[in-house]
Amino acid sequence: MTTPSQPMLPYGRAVIDEDDIAAVAQVLRTGTLTDGPTVEAFEQALAEATGAAEAVTASSGTTALHLVTLALDLKPGDQVIVPTVTFLATANAARYVGADVVFADADPNTGLMTPENFEEALTRARKGAVKAVAPVHLSGQCCDMPRIAEIADRHGITVFEDACHALGGTYPLNETVPVGSYKGSAAAVFSFHPIKAITTGEGGAITTNDRELAATMRRLRGHGMEKPPSHPALADFATAADGKVNPWIYQMRELGWNFRASDIHCALGLSQIKKLKSHIARRAELVAYYDKLIKPLAPTIRHQGRVGGNPGWHTYNILIDFPKLGMDRSALVKKLAAENIGAGVQYMPVHLQPYYQDLYGRAHLPGAEAYYGKCLCLPLYPDLTAGDVERVVATLKKVTGL
Ligand SMILES: *Cc1c(COP(=O)(O)O)cnc(C)c1O
């Protein structure tokens, strides 16, 4: 029955075309490989795509998150509420600046942090210590931002979104607002890792409506360097006898990093973002087709709970009642792999990681753990065909006997 010639379908992958390749080659020919106009052009395109006032690129989604925790001046003694159903980087970004993480539970049906999960996490936090909350738009579906922002506002907490899964989508309650421009949050973070909506190889960005925050993040991603110098400590060095500022002088008033994305990365991003709309539309079509084919497998297998809006679908997640199926996830993943179908699991809750258990002990977050117990990501990317979707579901039926 197994036909070894069937191509491998990973659960996510980048789609690179000849235009992308030509765009990168073109930048290589200009000789301006970093700090050049392609970085600015990509930032401009990102701001336009998300409707945000500013976009700041970074070397990865992780360094973009780090820039946000730095720019928000989070520090030791502060706490940040982070949903436990996320990639490691959301929580780690708080740790990079010495702040502590309070993990929030998730809705067992969607995997998203609900406003109730946020409020429950606040009851476990130290009074007055929570400075920020980082909702994660898991698999492209957005958290309930208006209610989360309202709770945050009441407690004097800053909101920043981990929108790494959600580029190109809109929020559920206001389908005209693109993800990345929500007025109730300080910033939204995106990743351009190859399995995300658009790729730069490695790369990330922050969108914000706060121009001052954007300027701080641009400074911090480049060693904290500023020109021309303004600090009185540099008065003796800064100017020539004619009173003009010496061209080589820059100042550093605070510790910065090198978290820049190069013009090579941004050339790929600029080419990719032209296809964002069509790729997101294609992902939505594939999700609808999966939904139709998966439906008869209920209640043992169903799609992850839906919140509405127009998600920029990142993964196609199903929830499986493994006890009912009489098969565990390892066995299922292995059987799918034997048929050249890659399945992902997003995510093992971060609070279960040894690093975080060592820091904070073994927390019990039942909604997140229930979600984790059921979830599986099936292949989803723009050049997946309808025939591929049929093959995935047919294989799922075959190996589960449903
Ligand atoms: C991909 C991802 C990140 C990190 O992005 P990198 O570009 O891989 O550093 C952070 N958070 C979430 C939810 C992600 O999916």
CA of 152 to the centre of ligand 1 (A): 23
- Which residue lies with its CA nearest to atom 2 of ligand 1? 164
199 is written with which tokens?
């790729």
Distance in angstroms (rounded) separating the CA atoms of residues 304 and 54: 33
Alpha helices, DSSP H only, in 80-199? 88-96, 115-124, 145-154
Closest ligand 1 atom to residue 346 Cα is 15
Closest ligand 1 atom to residue 165 Cα is 15
Residues 6+ apart with CB under 8 A from 282: 382
- Residue 159 — pLDDT band, cuts 50, 70, 90? very high
Fold match, 18-226+253-276 / 277-400: no
- Residue 380 — pLDDT band, cuts 50, 70, 90? very high
User: For ligand 1, which residues put their CB under 6 angstroms from it?
Assistant: 60-62, 86-87, 89-90, 136, 162, 164-165, 191, 193, 204
Q: Packing angle between helix 263-273 and helix 18-30, nearest 10 degrees? A: 150
CA of 365 to the centre of ligand 1 (A): 22
Question: Is this prediction's pTM over 0.75?
Answer: yes
CA of 224 to the centre of ligand 1 (A): 24
Pocket residue to mutate for ligand 1, from 13, 95, 162, 164, most atoms within 8 A of Cβ: 164
Q: Packing angle between helix 37-50 and helix 263-273, nearest 10 degrees? A: 30
pLDDT at 4 over 70: no
pLDDT at 167 over 80: yes
Q: What is the CATH number of domain 277-400?
A: 3.90.1150.10
Residue ranges of the domains in the chain?
A: 18-226+253-276, 277-400
The predicted structure's pLDDT at residue 25: 98
- Which residue lies with its CA nearest to atom 5 of ligand 1? 61
Q: What is the CATH number of domain 18-226+253-276?
A: 3.40.640.10
CA of 56 to the centre of ligand 1 (A): 16
CA dist 89 to 62, 66, 114, 258, 326, Å? 6, 9, 20, 18, 34
CA of 88 to the centre of ligand 1 (A): 8
Report the chain's mean pLDDT, rounded to a whole number: 96
CA of 87 to the centre of ligand 1 (A): 6
Span 105-124, average pLDDT: 98
Write out the E strands in 192-280. Answer: 204-208, 225-226, 251-252
